[in-house]
Structure 1
Amino acid sequence: MSEHIELTGTVPASCNGKRLDQTLAELFPDYSRSRLKNWITDQCVKVDGKLVDKPREKMITGMTVEVTAELIEEQRFEAQPIRLNIVYEDDAIMVINKPAGLVVHPGAGTPSGTLLNALLHHYPAIDQVPRAGIIHRLDKDTTGLMVVAKTLPAQTHLVAAMQEREITREYEAVCNGAMTAGGHVDEPIGRHPTKRTHMAVVAMGKPALTHYRVVERFRNHTHLRLRLETGRTHQIRVHMAHIRHPLVGDITYGGRPRPPQDASPELLAYLRGFKRQALHAARLSLHHPITGEWLSFDAPTPDDFVELVKLLRADRNAHAEE
């Protein structure tokens, strides 16, 4: 199914000399730049009555721009009554606290039972928004905050804000190894050259920057607070593994149990049984896409993460007394 779209506008003085794709983005902000660019190259745009298929075509004040296109409906997914932990909701956005084990989007091996299916059940009109309003993802076993757009204008603005790094995302993690200080990892990330389901630091990858600071040190582990400048797939996990401090529980990137010497049986058992990466999206801050209000949300650290830190702290304290 598809929806027929007809848009008309006049090039304003502010767009004099600008490219056609830039002008369309200013005239019709409810649609993403990539969608508008595709409409140009698909010959859906006329300027002063003539078809123009070059996004770089220069515009002159007063020109008439017409867009006649089909808004193709994306693949339809089933709405499912899956419980959501909604931290905030209004007419434009939702902020979700995602639990461990919940996949964000249907894909190979997980055709249903995802956050997207839950969103369709909670707010059926969200099926009119690309990817049901999902702006960014968290890995299946990463917990914490995500923002979701409920309308097309909200989605367009949030995607642009994400690209411009105007959405702040802070994480908590526990990594292997006792780190001495905070810092940052500025290394490009791309698909692993031989393991196609893995990501890696590769020379031809996309730019990726992760900041981290030490919250608490243990004998052979470190509790970290991290902030993303970019949002590459598995970014924190890959960057921490790259500097030889993989996250606890992250078997994919080398986070196998590394208990400190003479650890208690309780800590040994807990580290061996910790079956997910110790990573939590703790804070999300952004300008509201419609009102412009600055919003900031915090999600409490999940119980398994809290228990991990508690046991590591007890281990450190016990051995400090020896």
Structure 2
Amino acid sequence: MNIALNHFAAMQRWVTGNAAEATLDMSNLSVEVKCRGRYYRMYPTFQAIVHGRLTHLPNLTADARGFGGWRPYRAVTHPHSTDKALFKAHLAEAGLRSPATWDVQRATPDHDYVLKARRGSFGQGLHGPFRANAPVPQGIEIARDGGFFAEQFVPGRMLKVWYWGARPFFAHMQEFPAILGDGRNTVEALLRARIAAAQSSWGNFAQKPVVMACLAFQGIGPQDVLEGGRSAWFDYRYGQLYPTSFGATPVSDNQIDPLAQLTGTQLLDQGRALARLLQQAFPAPLLITVDGILDREGRIWWLEMNTNSLVPPEAYEVMFADLFG
């Protein structure tokens, strides 16, 4: 999805197929697209790692790791994308499923749970998972960064769904990343090899606390040796860098059709609710992503939304059909 040539190819296909014109401004890498008497400027975004953390930037810098595509507007923010509690309220009002939450300063969760910072992003500000009725471990300051809340931990497949306005058009489904036991190597040795595949070092791996919490949740220690064929998952956050081979594939990984077949009207229900929410602040459609978990019964548990995620190459056809008529 973040291979620049895929974006150029998708843009070129639409431009040539619709008798349009597109001009790239090398000073800022924006693109002006003209078609049917209208024109729009498309603004780029880049995936970057700054101070060891994944982020998105509007300009090409030395920190950039991948191209994030173009949008017909500059980066925007919405209160529901920066405050998870507000998005939870939106889900409740719309009658959409979301994991239960608790104020951990007042009650100990009676379900398995994770701790989330209300304003965390890119998988940061997360602790756990922890077992039901277990108190918050000592050393976690739950009042910092606007406060933490406990959220019910729902196992399943990680989802990210892209919407243009009310229309869902692109999706990822990911299993929790896992290691497979061989009866010889320790869990830590298997993790070291897996992290090395992502061009990182286990010794200074920033995500180690979450990884160890996931193993502890399953009753597994770093020096344990898993019997051959036994797997252990070690993260539950979408998009973390645990590839078996580094880099992306030029083949589309859009899973919107199989996801829709598994979930019925749930994607459309969220789209309609999102459109009603965002139209209060923005008169035109926006490109929005919503994270969730797909459980074993085919139910989506919605988690949070983002107004400035990476743009998949498939987005241009969807956006331009709307923008140019």
Give the TM-score range, shorter chain.
Answer: under 0.3
For normalisation by structure 2, the TM-score amounts to 0.23
Relative contact order, CA 8 A, sep 6+: which one is greater? Answer: 2
TM-score normalised by length of structure 1:
0.23
**Bigger radius of gyration, 1 or 2?**
1
